[in-house]
């Protein structure tokens, strides 16, 4: 039985004990993937962000996170467990600098303008790529405007050094359907480029994606990547 690790939902980056920087991700797609994976016989673990939709299948192992740092820690703990990582979480690109955060109290309104210094969050998927085993499959997502989608997806595929990327246009974020393209990284020996042939419901997309991933995971397990270095740590 193959093991799949899914991340889903938003990250909340604290400003103080009350306020945060977040995004509109619902985690619905990741939860649909987790439910369908259980139905298909996968062993499933999901790292789920705040207020994200919870999978319905009882066989899903749910681990909660709040911030990008929490998710980074969770990935460090659970990455080695899986055969396939699907990184569907909407991780914040920026967070308040540590010196700007008051997690014990609340910023009071003064009537003056307020500026908060932000810093970049680490690229978690690129970090996983550096630690992954040669027989693991790593899948990312690119959510971009339609006219920039292909170019952006290919850049992310190369920059993050992952195996596959799901490219889907920005206008599908709040929709019940998704029009997606799954692109393989030829540098990772994956000659793959398939699309959904138009919008399909997100639950149907889960079946579509997992159907492709099942075959690709089995191939990777039996034929590990040869153009990679061994990870510096593998802890179950």
Report, as residue numbers or ranges, the catalytic residues: 23
Task: Give the integer Cα–Cα distance in Å for 236 and 233.
Answer: 10
Neighbours of 25 (CB within 10 A): 23
Please give the structure tokens belonging to residue 101. 């955060």
The H-assigned helical ranges of 107-230 are 124-131, 149-160, 202-222
Task: Give the integer Cα–Cα distance in Å for 85 and 75.
Answer: 10
Listed residue (37, 56, 60, 29) closest to 176, CA to CA? 29
Strand partners, 4: 44, 84
Please give the structure tokens belonging to residue 143. 């959510």
C-alpha count within 13 angstroms, C-beta hemisphere, residue 37: 29
């Amino acid at each position: 039985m193959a093991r799949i690790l899914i991340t889903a939902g938003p990250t909340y980056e604290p400003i103080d004990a009350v306020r945060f920087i977040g995004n509109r991700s619902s985690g619905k797609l990741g939860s649909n993937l987790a439910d369908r994976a259980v139905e298909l016989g996968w062993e499933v673990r999901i790292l789920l962000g705040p207020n994200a939709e919870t999978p319905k299948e009882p066989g899903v192992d749910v681990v909660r996170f709040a911030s990008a740092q929490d998710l980074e820690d969770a990935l460090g703990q659970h990455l080695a467990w899986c055969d396939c990582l699907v990184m569907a979480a909407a991780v914040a690109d920026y967070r308040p600098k540590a010196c700007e955060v008051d997690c014990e109290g609340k910023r009071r309104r003064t009537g003056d303008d307020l500026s908060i210094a932000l810093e970049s969050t680490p690229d978690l998927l690129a970090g996983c790529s550096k630690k992954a085993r040669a027989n693991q499959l790593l899948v990312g997502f690119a959510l971009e405007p339609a006219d920039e989608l292909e170019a952006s997806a290919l850049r992310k595929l190369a920059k993050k050094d992952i195996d596959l990327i799901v490219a889907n246009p920005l206008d599908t974020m709040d929709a019940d359907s998704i029009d997606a393209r799954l692109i393989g990284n030829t540098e990772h020996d994956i000659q793959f480029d398939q699309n959904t042939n138009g919008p399909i419901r997100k639950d149907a997309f889960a079946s579509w994606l997992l159907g492709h991933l099942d075959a690709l995971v089995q191939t990777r397990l039996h034929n590990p990547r040869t153009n990679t270095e061994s990870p510096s740590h593998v802890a179950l």
